[in-house]
Structure 1
Amino acid sequence: MKYEVFPRRWGYEEIITAPVKGNVESIKVESGEQVHEQQLLVMIRAEQGHVKHILTGASGTVESLTVKVGDNVVQGDVLFFIKDDL
């Protein structure tokens, strides 16, 4: 199952948050990388055992990652900051 993340705005940055509670299984982008809408960012294994593919709803540059593989997250935890393309 895939999730498109509708980012929250913070100035010129988008805040990508976890839509489900689970464990970060893999991260598909790095800090400084250019991303585009619908690009896979991270995979989270939900408590029910299903892997959720988290896609970005924004294009820009990954400013920072706040999680790493193996981290436990809950719904609403910040995963990434993405600086908008202007």
Structure 2
Amino acid sequence: MMEYEVFPKRWGNGQIITSPVKGSVVCIRVETGGKVLEQELIVMIREERGNVKQILTGTNGIVDKVSVKVGDKVVRGDVLLFIKEVL
């Protein structure tokens, strides 16, 4: 498996995590209200070619909202979740 670190976009005092690839969500390791640490595995996406990509968070924070569920089809740039940074 290859790992990808996502460098999220800014959203107020938080960050937006987007999909770096086109594929299907196979695993979500976080839930709304849960704490995440920098470099933590948050989502796994299976590409159409069968490779599984691991999406890691780039910040410490609290998950504000998860926008996908297991089985959802995503394309590059789709929002996966929102993280509020812990100050």
- TM over 0.5, shorter chain: yes
> 1:19 corresponds to which letter in structure 2?
P
CA distance in 2, matches of 1:75, 1:30: 21
Q: How many residues align?
A: 86
Which deviations, in whole Å up to 9, do the C-alpha atoms of 1:28-69 show, x marking residues without a partner? Answer: 011100000100000000111100010001110000000000
Q: Flag structure 2 segments of 5+ consecutive residues without an equivalent.
A: none
Q: Which residue is 2:52 aligned to?
A: 51
> 2:81 corresponds to which letter in structure 1?
F
Q: Flag structure 1 segments of 5+ consecutive residues without an equivalent.
A: none
Q: Which residue is 1:80 aligned to?
A: 81
Name the % identity: 63
CA distance in 1, matches of 2:17, 2:28: 13
Q: Which residue is 1:18 aligned to?
A: 19
Q: CA RMSD in A?
A: 0.5
- What is the TM-score normalised by the length of structure 2? 0.97
Q: Which residue is 1:31 aligned to?
A: 32
- What is the TM-score normalised by the length of structure 1? 0.98
CA distance in 1, matches of 2:23, 2:59: 23
